Structure 1
Amino acid sequence: MRIVDKLNQAEESGTPYFSFEYFPPKTEQGLVNLYDRIERMGRTGPAFVAVTWGAGGATAQRTLELSEACQGIFGLDTLMHITCTNMDRGQVDQALAGARSAGIRNILALRGDAPRGDEFWSACSGGFTHAVDLVRYVRETHDDYFCIGVAGYPEGHSESTDPGQDLEYLAEKVKAGADFVVSQLVYDADIFIDWLQRCRDIGITCPVVPGVLPVQSYQSFRRLVHLTKVAVPETLRQALDDVHANDQAVKDLGVEHAVATVRKLQAAGVRGVHITTLNLENTVMRVLSALDLGAEARRLTPRISATQTEPSNVVPGAWDDFPNGRWGDARSPAFGNLGSYVSTYGTAMQKFDSGGSAWGEPTEVDHISELFVGYVKGSVASLPWSDEPLLAETQRIKDELVRVNCLGFWTLASQPALDGAASDDLTYGWGPRGGYIYQKAFVECFVHTAMFPAFLSRLQSASPRITYYASNRAGDFVTNAYSGPQGDGGAVTALTWGVFPGRAVVQPTLIDKMNFLAWRTEAFHTWEEWAAMFPKDSPQELFLREMADKCWLVNVVDNEYRNADAIWNMFQ
C-alpha cells in the first residue's frame, strides 16, 4: 500500500500511528537476527518500516534484501531509502527496478552525504545533484507507481545558512512529486511544532512525520548530537550527564524523554512518529507501551529465537541493555555504529569538514605519527577514525600511547586493564550500581608494512596470554585466536565484563574474527575518504592512498587483566 494513503487515512480519522527504521547489519548473522527482531516488532502494527541506504550504494544489495524481506515475508509496507551519493543513472535505475520486482512501492529519495572530493562524492549523471533531482527522475521514469518520501530539517540542513531557503527547497521537493516528509531527529517538540506551522504557511500540505530516536546509551547519544548538531533541551542534557555511568538510568531517561516528546507532539495535533530504532528493540517497545501505541506493544517482550546463535554466556536482551559499539557482539543486529543513520538523511559526518585543516597535509610517515601523537596528547581534537577526543579512562595509559605512536604504531582504539572497578565509578563504570567492572588491556593500531614482520614475530613468540588479529587491505589475515579443530580463528574474547547483583555476568565488549573483519573494511576505507579531501594526484592524495595499501590493521589483547605490562612490550 502507498504510505501516503495510510498517513492520510490516519490524519482524517485522528488515529495515532508510528513507524520503525532499521539499517542493514554489517554481518550475515546480524542480518539473520534482525529478521527475528523485525518479526516481533512488526506485530505491534507499525504503519510502515524503513530501511536505510549506505552512501554511494554501499549497502545497496543488503538494503534491497532487507526491504524485500520486510515487504514480502513479514507483510510490512516498506519504505526503501535511495540516495544520490556516487550513484549514476544506471545504478538508480537498477535500484528502482529491484524495488519494483520486490513489490516495494515506497521510497525515500535522499541526496546523502555532502561532497568531500570527486572520488568520494559525485552528482549522478543526468543532473542528480540534489534530492529534488532524484524525485523528478523517479516521477518521470515510473510515473505514480512509487510513493515518494523526502527528508525535512526542522533545525535547517547542516549546510544551510538560511532556514527560509531550506523550507523553499522542501517545498520544491514536494512540488516535484514528493508525497510525504520524514523529519530529521526531534528532541525538542517545540522546534518541530513551530517548523511544521511554517511548512503549512508556505503551502506544504502533505503529511509530515517527526523523527524520534530514544536515547540508547550515553556515548552513542553524545556522538549523535556531535555529528548532527541537533538541539537538545538542557534539562535532558544535564540529566544524562548526571547518570552517564549508569546505563540503565540512561535508558530510562531516554524512554521518559521520548514519551514526553511524543505526547507533546500529539497534543499539538501531530498524529504520527517515525522511530529510528538503530536495530534495537527493548527501549522502543517500552516507548510504545508507555504511549499505549501498537496492537501488542504491552505484552510483547524480547526473547531469544531458536534461529539465533547467541553464545550461552550472553544473557537474552543484553544486546539492547548495554552499548553495542564497534567491539560489541557481531551477531547483534545493532553491531556497528551510527553512520548508517547519520549519513542517510544527508547530515554528513562533520569530521572531514571540521577536522580536515587540523590534520595537516601529510606526505610522509612521520606526519601521520605526529598527528596521532597530537591526538593522544589532546592538541588535536579528532582523527579521521575518531570524531571526539579520547575518553577519560585513556589517561591511565596516555604515556604508553604517546610512546607507541611516536614509534609508528598508529593507535585507533585502546583500553587499560581493570580488576574490579566499581560500576558507579565516574571514569570506568557502567551498568547497574553495586557491581564490578573488569577489562583486559587491548590496543588496535595501523602498522606500516615495513614494520609489520618484526611486530608479528614478537606477537607470535609472546606468551599465550597475548592474542592478536591482523589483516591488510588486500585481505591477508593472521591470528593466534583459534577455536575448534579446524583452527578457524572463530574464538570470541571478552574484552570487558561486569558482575552485578541479581544477574549473570554481562559481556558487552567482544573481539572475534567476524567483528574484526567487519571493522577492517571501514578502517581502510577511511584512508580513501581522507585522501579525497585533497586534489586528485596531489602529493597528499597519493600518499594517503599509498598508506591504505601499505598498512596492516592489528588488534592485540592481553588476557591477563590483573597485570597488563606485557602488552606494551610488544611495541618496540
Structure 2
Amino acid sequence: MKITEKLEQHRQTSGKPTYSFEYFVPKTTQGVQNLYDRMDRMYEASLPQFIDITWNAGGGRLSHLSTDLVATAQSVLGLETCMHLTCTNMPVSMIDEALENAYHSGCQNILALRGDPPRDAENWTPVEGGFQYAKDLIKYIKSKYGDHFAIGVAGYPECHPELPTKDVKLDLEYLKQKIDAGGDFIITQMFYDVDNFINWCSQVRAAGMDVPIIPGIMPITTYAAFLRRAQWGQISIPQQFLSQLDPIKDDDELVRDIGTNLIVQMCQKLLNSGYISHLHIYTMNLEKAPLMILERLNILPTESEFNAHPLAVLPWRKSLNPKRKNEEVRPIFWKRRPYSYVARTSQWAVDEFPNGRFGDSSSPAFGDLDLCGSDLIRQSANKCLELWSTPTSINDIAFLVINYLNGNLKCLPWSDIPINDEINAIKTHLIELNKHSIITINSQPQVNGIRSNDKIHGWGPKDGYVYQKQYLEFMLPKTKLPKLIDTLKNNEFLTYFAIDSQGDLLSNHPDNSKSNAVTWGIFPGREILQPTIVEKISFLAWKEEFYHILNEWKLNMNKYDKPHSAHFIQSLIDDYCLVNIVDNDYISPDDQIHSILLSL
C-alpha cells in the first residue's frame, strides 16, 4: 500500500500521530539476519506504518542486499516497505533491476534520491548512463511505472549541504522541482532546531507544495555520535541541547536518557505545530532508543489497538507480496522457519496459492534449497559456535533444546525464531522428552475452541473460535522406531510420518497424499479457515531441508576444527529419524504422544 494512502487513511480514522522506522543495510550476512529479527520485534512492539531501507550505491553484493531486504520485509515479515533509490553509481540498467525487484515484491514506495558522492570521490558526478538529479530519477520512475509507486523526496530544513550560501529560497525551488516531477511526500534530513523546521514547513506550504512532510528524527544515543551526525549533516545544534548534554557527555546511559527527553520535547512541538502528523525515526539499526521516544510520547499502540490490528490474520504474518495475497495454507513443518519456507515457494505461480502444490506428487512441491541463499542455517559459522557451542552427545543437544524452550536461547539450527508462550501448556512434557533423548523439533498444544482474540492462541477476526490438534515433531533413534510403529498400529487417533536421511518413509495415514488440517478457525459469516496442515509431499521437502541443516552444522564444526562435534552430528544424520505425530483427538485432555514416547 502507498505511504500516502496509509497516512490519509489513518488521518480519517484516528487523530493519533503515526511513525515509521529507517534501517540501513548491514555489511555482513550475520548482520542481515540480526536485522531481520530486530525489524520483526520492533514491528510487533510498535506497529509502525512503514519501514524504509537505505540503498547501498557501491554496486555488487551490498546493492543486491538492499533489494533482498525489501523483498524479505514485504514477503516474510509483512512490513510495508519503502526502498531508497539513488543516482550514485547507478546506470539505468541497475535502476531498472532495482525497480523491477521492488515491483515484484509488492513494494509500492520509493524514496528517490540523488545520493552522496562515492566514498572515493570528492565531488558528486553522474555515472555514465545514469541520472544527474533526483528529479530525473523521479521522472524516469513515473515513465516506467506510472502511479504504481508513491515517490518520496528528500527535504533539507537547513538547506542542502552543497549549497554554499544556504540559500533557502533556491533550495525550496529545487524541492518544488522534485515535487512537480512526481514526488508524493517529503522525508527530511535530521535536525534539532525545531523552530527553524516549523518555519521551513510554512515556507514549503507557501511555495505551493501540499504533500505530506515527514520529519526525519535522529535519536541521541551517545554524545560523540550526536556531535558526529550533526557535523556530517551540517546542521545546527540548539544551545539547549549542548547545555544539557555536554556536562554528562561521558555517561552514555544518562546521555541517552536526557537526549531522549530532548527529542521527545522536539517531537511534541512538531506535532503541536499542525504541519506534522507522522514521525520518521532513523533507527541506526538500534531498537531501544526509537521505542523509548515513542513510549515517552505516549503514542505506542494501546492494548485495544493491538487487538484490533490485523497482525495475526493467520497464525503467521500475512505476506504483502502480491503473488501470495491469497495464501491461506502452510505446512506446519516451517512454523519456525518462515524465511526458508517463503524462499522455497517463491517461484510458485499465483494460482498455486492458497493451496500450493500440496499433495501433487506429479510435480516438485518446493523449489531447490539453493533458493534459501548460501546457507540454510541463518547464523554465521562463528555465531553457531557462540550460540550452540560444540555438542558431542545427545545430552548436549537436549540441553540446547531445553534452553530454547525456556527462552534462554533465541534460535536453534532448525528454528529461526524464538519460542513463544503457546508451548507453555506442554512445555514440561517437552522438556521431559528431551531429557529422555527424544529431541523435539516443533510442536503445538491442543486447543479446543478458544476465542480468536486470545492473546496466546488467537488469530484471525476477533469474533471467532480457533482449534488445534496437538502436534509433535522430533528426532528419534532408529532403534526405537519399530516399537513406536507397533504401538501406534492400532491407535485410532494418532497419525504419523517417519523418515530417515536416506528417504525411507513410513506412515499410518489412511491416504498419506492428502492433507490433515492441524489448525482451523471458525468465524461468523466467513468460511472455515484451515491454515496449518500436515501432509506427505511437504514433509518430504522438509526432511530434505532438515538433514541439510544438520549437514551444514557439521561442516561448521569441521571449519573450526571440532572433529568430535562433527562426528557426533553425523551420527544424528545416520542414526536418527525425523518423526511427526498428530493427535487427531483435539477434545481429550490426555497427552497421548508424551506417554507413548516415554514408554519406548
**Residues 429-451 of structure 1, C-alpha deviations (whole Å, 9 max, x = no match):** xxxxxxxxxxxxxxxxxxxxxxx
Unaligned residue ranges in structure 1 (runs of 5+):
314-482, 490-572
Give, in whole Å, the separation in 2 of the partners of 1:278 and 1:111.
21
Q: Give TM-score, length-normalised by structure 2.
A: 0.49
Q: Match for residue 93 of structure 2?
A: 90
Give, in whole Å, the separation in 2 of the partners of 1:141 and 1:78.
20
- Measured at CA, do residues 71 and 296 of structure 1 come closer, stay the same or move farther in structure 2, by a change above 3 Å? farther
Give, in whole Å, the separation in 1 of the partners of 2:58 and 2:176.
25
Please tell me whether residue 140 in structure 1 is matched to residue 143 in structure 2. yes
Contact 1:57 1:85 (8 Å CA) reproduced: no
Q: CA deviation at 1:163?
A: 1.2
- Measured at CA, do residues 11 and 29 of structure 1 come closer, stay the same or move farther in structure 2, by a change above 3 Å? same
Q: Match for residue 100 of structure 1?
A: 103
What is the correspondence of 1:344-493 to structure 2 with a 5 Å cutoff? none
Contact 1:89 1:126 (8 Å CA) reproduced: yes
Please tell me whether residue 41 in structure 1 is matched to residue 42 in structure 2. yes
Stretch deviating more after TM superposition (157-166 or 55-64): 55-64
Q: Match for residue 22 of structure 2?
A: 21
Q: CA deviation at 1:52?
A: 0.4
Please tell me whether residue 294 in structure 1 is matched to residue 294 in structure 2. no
- Measured at CA, do residues 74 and 484 of structure 1 come closer, stay the same or move farther in structure 2, by a change above 3 Å? closer
Q: CA deviation at 1:126?
A: 5.2
Contact 1:56 1:86 (8 Å CA) reproduced: yes
Q: Match for residue 33 of structure 2?
A: 32
Q: CA deviation at 1:74?
A: 1.5
Q: CA deviation at 1:312?
A: 7.5
Q: Percentage identity across aligned positions?
A: 41
Contact 1:80 1:107 (8 Å CA) reproduced: yes
What is the correspondence of 1:9-408 to structure 2 with a 5 Å cutoff? 9-12=9-12, 13-43=14-44, 44-57=46-59, 59-114=62-117, 122-125=125-128, 128-160=131-163, 161=165, 162-269=167-274, 270-295=276-301, 309=383, 311=386
Q: CA deviation at 1:285?
A: 1.2
Contact 2:57 2:63 (8 Å CA) reproduced: no
Contact 1:215 1:221 (8 Å CA) reproduced: yes
- Measured at CA, do residues 173 and 63 of structure 1 come closer, stay the same or move farther in structure 2, by a change above 3 Å? same
Contact 1:56 1:121 (8 Å CA) reproduced: no
**Residues 514-556 of structure 1, C-alpha deviations (whole Å, 9 max, x = no match):** xxxxxxxxxxxxxxxxxxxxxxxxxxxxxxxxxxxxxxxxxxx
Give, in whole Å, the separation in 1 of the partners of 2:115 and 2:296.
34
- Measured at CA, do residues 287 and 116 of structure 1 come closer, stay the same or move farther in structure 2, by a change above 3 Å? closer
Q: CA deviation at 1:56?
A: 3.9
Which amino acid in 2 is paired with 1:135?
A: I
Unaligned residue ranges in structure 2 (runs of 5+):
307-335, 338-377, 389-555, 563-600
Q: Match for residue 359 of structure 1?
A: none
Contact 2:67 2:101 (8 Å CA) reproduced: yes
Q: Match for residue 503 of structure 2?
A: none
Give secondary structure in 2 for the equivalent of 1:55. Answer: coil
**Residues 215-268 of structure 1, C-alpha deviations (whole Å, 9 max, x = no match):** 011222221112111111112122221111111001102211111111101111
Q: CA deviation at 1:288?
A: 1.1
Give secondary structure in 1 for the equivalent of 2:285. Answer: coil
Give, in whole Å, the separation in 1 of the partners of 2:19 and 2:240.
26
Give secondary structure in 2 for the equivalent of 1:181. Answer: strand
Contact 1:46 1:294 (8 Å CA) reproduced: no
Higher RCO by CA contacts (8 Å cutoff, separation 6 or greater):
1
Tell me the number of residue pairs that the alignment of Structure 1 and Structure 2 aligns: 316
Contact 2:24 2:53 (8 Å CA) reproduced: yes
Stretch deviating more after TM superposition (251-260 or 273-282): 251-260
Give secondary structure in 2 for the equivalent of 1:215. Answer: coil
Q: Which has the larger radius of gyration?
A: 2
Give secondary structure in 1 for the equivalent of 2:253. Answer: helix
Q: Match for residue 385 of structure 1?
A: none
- Measured at CA, do residues 486 and 187 of structure 1 come closer, stay the same or move farther in structure 2, by a change above 3 Å? same
- Measured at CA, do residues 292 and 63 of structure 1 come closer, stay the same or move farther in structure 2, by a change above 3 Å? same
Contact 1:86 1:122 (8 Å CA) reproduced: no
Q: CA deviation at 1:295?
A: 2.0
